Amino acid sequence: MKKNNCKGKRLGFSLRLGFSLMISLISIVFFAVLQWIPGSIPALLFKPFSITPVERAGSSQDNSASPLQFQSKDLSILSTLSSREATIVKGHTFKSGDSLFDVLSILGVSDREIFNISKASKAIYDLRKVIPGRSMKVFLKEVRGEVRTLLYEIDPLRSLKIERTINGFNVVEEKAVLEREVVSRWGSISDTLFESAGRSGVPSEVILELADIFAWDLDFSTDIQLKDRFWVVYEQFKKDGRVIHTGRVLAAEMINKGKTYRGYHFAPGDGKGGYYDEEGHSLRKAFLKSPLRYRYISSGFSVRRRHPILKVNRPHLGIDFVAPYGTPVRSSGGGVVSYVGWRGGHGKTVIIKHRNGYRTLYGHLSSYGKGIKKGKRVDQGDVIGKVGSTGLSTGPHLHYTLYKKGKAINPRKADVLRGAPLDKKYFAVFSEKVKKMNKYLYPTSFLDSAIPGQTT
């Protein structure tokens, strides 16, 4: 009897359990179907959660800096958020002994990734040869430490940009965008043009160009006197507020021994620019006042001069320019080389034949310019040799003589023709430029100031 009762209880429990399981299964299927019906209670109950940035009330900061909150939004936001993964920006200025591998390794970039970056960059620039003093900026994914973008400064005007793409790293060279400025400076000569202009803040390359502009009228080694004055207007180019380089001298003025010399840069229709006075006359002449760009004259023109080695009075028709050994010697005018070789006390010598019966002689050279030989045509300013001390000479210097129809004449007093004047069809445009440049040459601040200054 007891056995029958136990069997009955087990059977009843099994039936109730089976019935409960069946009801649960039917309910699951029922709710699973209902959640796909818009507006039904299961559809609302089972709507998924996602993460989205929430901006603080009244905040104008970027959303990436805001706290994250859970909101009932579409799941597609998750994929958008993953593409906006936080980025860390690291900067580094390379020092002696640094390498790309060492720097990126410290930032947590894998060896494999560094290899891929280095390999990709070779098409434009080899990053294995980083230069001390150059800077690099790296944009890293915060979580995985992968490089998004790498910027390397090749030089002040160029940079390398490496970006991650789905196909690897893309490399491009970017040119710096420079800000152009027009600068005006002026001053008074208290020693030399180079030293005085330098104290007024004129860059050395601008001083040299200033000297070249008036090189047909003034020899800045000997002609410049105390209290002479100078004005110069030139371009300079900046990057991030720092001057990268200077540009062309746009206008200049020199007052020497009471005489005023002015020059304005102008490029006519053919695109080849030059310097002209305010009336459109070219500043160029057939001969430069000096064949040396860096020069110091030790003796002037004289018909009687004691030669330093021979110890006797003898004609020394020409000018000696003392300069460092190896200083380039330029042809003072265009012409054809008529002599190259040793010429008595002048040592290694070059003679150039010019138009209208002129010749120039360059003596005591240490060597000849590349390709300089008899019969070669040269232009004004071409290098024809280097300063030396060959022949009868006590030290490195250049002996320079200008001949006219076989007779030596004083180069500093030679009456030679200027270049062609500006074509009349350009004169109206040129006159407007002169007016504009004069505003820089003679600013109001200069009229109220008795000391060297500048304006931009």
Query: Once rounded to an integer, what is the mean pLDDT over residues 356-382?
Result: 95
Q: In this structure, are 385 and 448 located in the same domain?
A: no
Q: How many whole angstroms separate alpha carbon 34 and alpha carbon 54?
A: 32
The pLDDT value recorded for residue 23 is: 66
Q: In this structure, are 152 and 243 located in the same domain?
A: no
Instruction: Give 298 or 404, the one with higher predicted confidence.
Output: 404
Q: In this structure, are 309 and 260 located in the same domain?
A: no
Most confident listed range (103-107, 240-244, 320-324, 435-439): 435-439
Summarised one tens digit per residue, pLDDT across range 303-321 is 555 556 554 545 667 888 8
Residue 271 has pLDDT above 60, yes or no: yes
Instruction: Give 85 or 1, the one with higher predicted confidence.
Output: 85
Q: How many whole angstroms separate alpha carbon 299 and alpha carbon 446?
A: 37
In this structure, is residue 37 part of a structural domain?
Answer: no
Query: Once rounded to an integer, what is the mean pLDDT over residues 28-40?
Result: 54
Residue 75 has pLDDT above 50, yes or no: no
Examine the fold and report which residue of 137, 157, 175 is the final residue of a domain before the chain moves on.
Answer: 175
Examine the fold and report which residue of 110, 143, 175 is the final residue of a domain before the chain moves on.
Answer: 175
Q: In this structure, are 185 and 144 located in the same domain?
A: no
Query: Once rounded to an integer, what is the mean pLDDT over residues 10-25?
Result: 61
Instruction: Give 383 or 90, the one with higher predicted confidence.
Output: 383
Instruction: Give 105 or 142, the one with higher predicted confidence.
Output: 105
Q: Percent of the chain scored above 90 by pLDDT? A: 36
Summarised one tens digit per residue, pLDDT across range 389-406 is 999 998 899 999 999 988
Q: How many whole angstroms separate alpha carbon 378 and alpha carbon 340?
A: 13
Residue 48 has pLDDT above 60, yes or no: no
Helix (H, G, I), strand (E, B) or coil at 22: helix
- CATH number of the CATH domain containing 137: 3.10.450.350
CB 228 within 8 A of CB 188: yes
The pLDDT value recorded for residue 453 is: 47
Residue 77 has pLDDT above 50, yes or no: no
Q: In this structure, are 230 and 305 located in the same domain?
A: no
Pairing of strands 50-53, 179-188: unpaired
How many domains does the chain divide into?
Answer: 3
In this structure, is residue 21 part of a structural domain?
Answer: no
Summarised one tens digit per residue, pLDDT across range 219-242 is 777 778 899 999 999 999 998 888
Most confident listed range (16-25, 176-185, 368-377): 368-377
DSSP per-residue codes, 290-354: -S-SS-EEEE--EEEEE-TTT-SEEEE-SEEEE--TT-EEE-SS-EEEEEEEE-GGG-EEEEEE-
Under the banding of pLDDT at 50, 70 and 90, the label for residue 444 is: low
The pLDDT value recorded for residue 32 is: 56
**Domain carrying residue 334:** 296-413
In this structure, is residue 307 part of a structural domain?
Answer: yes
In this structure, is residue 420 part of a structural domain?
Answer: no
Residue 45 has pLDDT above 60, yes or no: no
In this structure, is residue 291 part of a structural domain?
Answer: no
In this structure, is residue 290 part of a structural domain?
Answer: no
The pLDDT value recorded for residue 336 is: 97
- Rounded to the nearest integer, the mean pLDDT of the chain is 78
Q: How many whole angstroms separate alpha carbon 434 and alpha carbon 19?
A: 106
- CATH number of the CATH domain containing 373: 2.70.70.10
The pLDDT value recorded for residue 449 is: 45
Question: Distance of CA 361 to CAs 64, 87, 196, 291, 400, Å?
Answer: 75, 69, 32, 11, 6
Apex 43 CA angle, 37 and 45, nearest 5: 165
Q: In this structure, are 195 and 232 located in the same domain?
A: yes
Residue 24 has pLDDT above 50, yes or no: yes
Helix (H, G, I), strand (E, B) or coil at 179: strand
Q: In this structure, are 310 and 272 located in the same domain?
A: no
Q: How many whole angstroms separate alpha carbon 190 and alpha carbon 227?
A: 6
In this structure, is residue 354 part of a structural domain?
Answer: yes
In this structure, is residue 239 part of a structural domain?
Answer: yes
pTM of the model: 0.62
Q: In this structure, are 238 and 202 located in the same domain?
A: yes
Q: In this structure, are 183 and 129 located in the same domain?
A: no
Summarised one tens digit per residue, pLDDT across range 190-220 is 988 888 999 999 998 898 889 889 988 887 7
DSSP per-residue codes, 379-421: -TT-EEEEEB--SS-SSSEEEEEEEETTEEE-GGG----B-PP
Residue 51 has pLDDT above 50, yes or no: no
Q: In this structure, are 259 and 344 located in the same domain?
A: no
Q: How many whole angstroms separate alpha carbon 212 and alpha carbon 261?
A: 13
Examine the fold and report which residue of 109, 142, 175 is the final residue of a domain before the chain moves on.
Answer: 175
Q: In this structure, are 322 and 390 located in the same domain?
A: yes
Q: In this structure, are 169 and 195 located in the same domain?
A: no
